[in-house]
Amino acid sequence: MQHNAESLRKIAEEFLFEGDRNAVGAADALSEEYAGMPIFRTPVLVGISSASDPLYRRLGDESVIGGLYRHPSVWVSDAKSVISVFLPFSDAVCKDNSKDINTFSYGWMHARNEGQNLLNAVGIRVKEEIESCGGVAVIPSLDGSFRYVLPKTTGKPHADSVWSDRHAAYISGLGTFGLSTCLITKEGTAGRFISIVTDLKIEPTPRDYVGIYEYCIKCGRCIKNCPVNAIYKTAISKDRDIADDDLKNISLKDIQKCSDYVDLSEEMYYPRYGCGKCQVNVPCMNKRPKRRS
């Protein structure tokens, strides 16, 4: 079977919503009210990019991801395509995390943790489909060699990682970055990404943007929402976007400060953790915001 973005999207979505898979189990719920809470919503988004897209070479620059980064051809020797999948969080998850900016949300932590397990399962389902068509497929974030290093170790303003699902999603046409460094899709920023590298040639998804912050309206709501003031505006204005040729991880967020706060949530609610306040009560929470004329 010759797959494209839409056929893979349908496979991912059918798997996600099969039975009661997309719900917090009663045994896992941090409190009774969260039992049965839906984690993700429709539509699932899938974007495809060519593994030979020049932007994948750019990600290894120190100004973007850095020296740990591995090109798609390292994950799969004859890589031809990268599949990016986005699962948007449910309205229930976003509503729960919107209640109090200064309090960790049980609903969000369930989405971040049980939701991650579900996201991984969706990625594996897509990987298995590719393999059933005779292709080789690797999910970088689930590979045993996956790792990242935080700024306190590297001294950089951003984390250094072997792979970035958000950058793969950008290259695959799913959306652009916001001030919070999250990726804004047509279904918003609240959700989770996973990507699969394969040696099957699949038609790429067109990118309908040029600037890496093109979907962001620079309203500053995420800045106000951040409990630890980790987000700020730097080198970016409301009337200026940064083009592909300048694909840089411009320091708009203190990643270490953000990470330390998320670590606090894990200390309090281990094994669950998560914050996500920059992704709720913002114009880009569940849609692409429109710029004011």
Total-model pTM: 0.92
CA 30 – CA 60 distance, rounded (Å): 40
Q: What is the pLDDT of residue 63?
A: 77
Q: What is the pLDDT of residue 155?
A: 61
CA 163 – CA 259 distance, rounded (Å): 18
Q: What is the pLDDT of residue 67?
A: 83
Q: Which two tokens stand for residue 292?
A: 């004011």
Q: What is the pLDDT of residue 245?
A: 47
CA 249 – CA 4 distance, rounded (Å): 30
Q: What is the pLDDT of residue 235?
A: 46
The strand pairing partners of 240, in sequence order, are: 237
Per-residue tens of pLDDT for the chain, all 293 residues: 789 999 999 999 999 999 999 999 999 999 999 999 999 999 999 999 999 999 999 998 887 888 899 999 999 999 999 999 999 999 999 999 999 989 999 999 999 999 999 999 999 999 999 999 999 999 999 999 988 776 666 666 566 789 999 999 999 999 999 989 899 999 999 999 999 999 999 999 999 998 898 999 988 899 999 999 988 765 455 445 555 445 555 556 788 889 899 999 999 999 999 999 999 999 999 999 987 65
Q: What is the pLDDT of residue 233?
A: 64
